[in-house]
Structure 1
Amino acid sequence: MILTLAVSGYRSLRKIIIPLDKLTIITGANGTGKSSIYKSIRLLADVAQGNVVRSLALEGGIPSTLWAGPEKFSRSMKSGQHPIEGTVRREPVSLKLGFASEDYGYAIDLGLPKSDGRSMFNLDPEIKSEAMWIGEVLKRHNVIASRAGPGVQVMQEDGARQHVLTALPSFDSMMTHAGDPKQASEILLLRERMRNWRFYDHFRTDQASKARMPQVGTRTVSLASDGSDLAAAVQTIKEIGDPEAFDDAIEDAFPGSSIKVDVKDNMFEVVMQQKGLLRPLRTSELSDGTLRYLLLVAALMTPRPPPLLVLNEPETSLHPSLLPALARLIKSVAQTTQIIVVSHAGSFVDELAMAPNSANYELKKQLGETIISDVPDQSWNWQKR
């Protein structure tokens, strides 16, 4: 389980450290930084996929994603006695992302590229440093692997540190290039764990969405991020997952209704039998809210639970009457899978916050910076460049 998420210098997240629980709810008004929290976790997952530089470039490059305020706020700025203005910078410009789990921690520091006047990729961030360690807090003695510039060092069995890479390009991560079954098996282990994190963000439910169309079906142990393999995912749950719990989740939201999968010429399609109707409804006939709820059930009830499941505003398009059922399902799944929910639906958040082993954080903005009140102090150290 991830115990701590740390972000520094990303959009409105000047410096934020969040303790996580089995179920963590992030809420707040529009513009307070909820999306930035969600995206920062996705960026960490992108590191393991080798896509973090590309993802930041798609956001406008490092200049567009960096914290736009001063490095620090003086007391007079906070009190309003003096205007907000730049201070003397003591640290290099950087965007830092990190997390600590029960066994391993990882952090990455990205910064501005050094323009040589020849490259056309001057908006791409550079990876300045990385670190992987044992335990919850980075310390000098518990570092397993570290990267400074183009060089990567890995701790050996005898405790000595050995250079395994000396010319790693600034756009490549040690997580994707330094893992080795013999010399750095821990990097491989953590990388695969991060690659198995799952994210679901605003399923398309319009008439042209793939979720409404019959699709070729193969065993699907995890729903695709766009929901295009909904029918195959549902059938997989029914065959090798927990079909009784799946049926209970449907009954909880739509009393008297049931879901099955029709197959024709190897094309799978979900159909829904509703109480009082003489025939089942095809996916193309379902309302946006009903389809979105089915997609969320399929995502949550995967036969192969991920180490981390992140839901961004799952209440979108759902009728308020469906939110209690969705909250009950999330709380049930959170007993075995760590879940982070980003939401601004008050009653939904309140229901989720009643779960055991849950944490609920409300984001606010102060002088353009995202802050969280009443957060327990967390120990955290960033690696040096």
Structure 2
Amino acid sequence: MLTHVEIEGFRSLRHVELDLPGLTVMIGPNGSGKSNVLDVFAVMAEAASGLLSEGIARRGGIGTLIFRGGENKIFYGFDFAPEAEFREEGAEVHYKMQLRPVGTFPVVWFEQVSKGPIPPHVNPLFLMHRDKQSPTTMFRSLVTGEKEEINKEIESQSELAIFQVKDQTAYPTPYKLLRQFENWTFYRPLRVGPDAPIRSPQTIRPGVRLFPDGSNVASVLHAIQNQFPAIWDEICETLTNVYEDFRYVSFPAEGGDGKILLRWWEHPFEKEYGFSADLLSDGTLRLLSLLAILKTPDPPPLICIDEPEVGLHPDWIRLVAELLESAATRTQIIVATHSPQLVSHVKPNHVVVIEKEDGATTVSRLTEEELAGWLDKFRLGDLWLAGHIGGRP
């Protein structure tokens, strides 16, 4: 699990460090930097797929991403606990990367993978090292008992060295990091208009992870229904609690070209016809998508969701909080929200306050101690609205 992130020089993040439990809920005014924090993880996911330079160009170029008034660089640092994928490492795993502009192009100036605690005056075990002064990257091979060091030429100065790792036997830790970053998933508020992909017939695809645009929601829910009946029963129970007249969801074939359509059945029409996805309300489609994201039996290692409350009835927000807390026992989740109701229904120590000071983003995590006495009388969301915990314009 990702335990700590350090960011320097990315957009409004002059220098931000954040410890990460299973669930992190970020609150703060518009423009404070919540989306910038989320975008850090989106950039790393793109970089792990060999799209670092393309992703930076799409965001306006390296020059527009560097914090103005600071050093002319961007730094990312990620620490992972020795559990799950990194259990065999037996120690914390660390990844560091620095970007600098050369003309209009981003250049990876420094990149490093190491493991072990890093007390003062003790060098960690370096598993990969790259810097601009050398045309090659140094990988430490585990095939020969961690004693053989192999140089690999860098294919592109604007892409990550770990993207070039193919041999998971010789270089298991860099390979695991690559897969970790590659599978981080980012969801913005879903597009649900009349021409949105979520409303159209969908090709059945393998896998039970929702695409960021929701274009495979029927395929994901269909797979859960057929392969994971216990989870499907939980989803249907949730829908029944939300919609008194809900009966079931079916996935009939559509058009004879291998596509299926999500069809919704409810009382008193369950024996006559169902409502296809193009007729469902925006809120219903958003809720179905959240259920697909948070109930998947195969979650990605990190899920980032920007404003999960968008388009949902206020009475459903407590359910969203419960889904987030439950999913965070199986994977790691980072959320940005403007919903006081959502904040009121998550654990206080899961809430991070994002603010801006002199143009730079600051972060602070709430603690039970500082809220002692307040929560006996007020809900956390009300304290936020009243300005007692910060995060207000």
TM bucket normalised to smaller: 0.7 to 0.9
Classify the secondary structure of the residue corresponding to 1:147.
Answer: strand
Q: Which residue of 2 aligns with 1:53?
A: 53
User: Could you give the per-residue CA deviations for residues 331-375 of structure 1, whole angstroms, max 9, x where no partner exists?
Assistant: 111111111111111111221236xxx521010111111012357
Shift of the alpha carbon at 1:160?
A: 4.2
Q: Which residue of 1 aligns with 2:221?
A: 234
- Contact kept? 2:353, 2:366, Cα under 8 Å: no
Measured in 2, the distance between the counterparts of 1:209 and 1:310 equals 21
Q: Give the TM-score of the pair, scaled to structure 1.
A: 0.84
Q: How many aligned residue pairs are there?
A: 344
Q: Which runs of 5+ in 1 are unaligned?
A: 72-91, 114-121, 377-385
Q: How does 1:304-383 map to 2 (within 5 A)?
A: 304-353=298-347, 359-373=350-364
| 1:261 is the counterpart of 2:251 | yes
Q: Which residue of 2 aligns with 1:175?
A: 162
Task: Output the amino acid matched with 1:67.
Answer: F
- Contact kept? 1:252, 1:325, Cα under 8 Å: no
Shift of the alpha carbon at 1:317?
A: 1.4
Q: 1:167 to 1:189 in 2, by over 3 A?
A: closer
Shift of the alpha carbon at 1:179?
A: 4.3
| 1:128 is the counterpart of 2:135 | no
- Give the number of the structure with larger relative contact order, counting CA–CA contacts within 8 Å between residues 6 or more apart: 1
Q: Which residue of 2 aligns with 1:65?
A: 65
User: Could you give the per-residue CA deviations for residues 30-74 of structure 1, whole angstroms, max 9, x where no partner exists?
Assistant: 1100110010111121221111221111111111000013x3xxx
Q: 1:294 to 1:182 in 2, by over 3 A?
A: closer
Measured in 2, the distance between the counterparts of 1:124 and 1:281 equals 50
Task: Output the amino acid matched with 1:132.
Answer: V
User: Could you give the per-residue CA deviations for residues 151-193 of structure 1, whole angstroms, max 9, x where no partner exists?
Assistant: 2112244554624224443112111114423431221122112
User: Which aligned segments of 4 or more residues in structure 1 are displaced greater than 3 angstroms?
Assistant: 135-139, 156-161, 275-279, 373-376
Shift of the alpha carbon at 1:259?
A: 2.2
Q: 1:320 to 1:375 in 2, by over 3 A?
A: closer
Q: 1:375 to 1:130 in 2, by over 3 A?
A: farther
Task: Output the amino acid matched with 2:78.
Answer: F
What fraction of aligned residue pairs are identical, expressed as a percent? 25
Classify the secondary structure of the residue corresponding to 1:112.
Answer: strand
Shift of the alpha carbon at 1:301?
A: 1.6
Measured in 2, the distance between the counterparts of 1:15 and 1:217 equals 44
For residue 270 of structure 1, the aligned residue among 251, 262, 271 is: 262
Q: 1:3 to 1:338 in 2, by over 3 A?
A: same
Q: Which residue of 2 aligns with 1:99?
A: 78
Q: Which residue of 2 aligns with 1:75?
A: none
Q: Which residue of 1 aligns with 2:378?
A: none
Q: 1:137 to 1:228 in 2, by over 3 A?
A: farther
- Contact kept? 2:351, 2:365, Cα under 8 Å: no
Task: Output the amino acid matched with 1:263.
Answer: A
Q: 1:137 to 1:197 in 2, by over 3 A?
A: farther
User: Could you give the per-residue CA deviations for residues 253-290 of structure 1, whole angstroms, max 9, x where no partner exists?
Assistant: 22341322222323211111233445321111111111
Q: Give the TM-score of the pair, scaled to structure 2.
A: 0.82
- Contact kept? 1:44, 1:97, Cα under 8 Å: no
Q: How does 1:186-201 map to 2 (within 5 A)?
A: 186-201=173-188
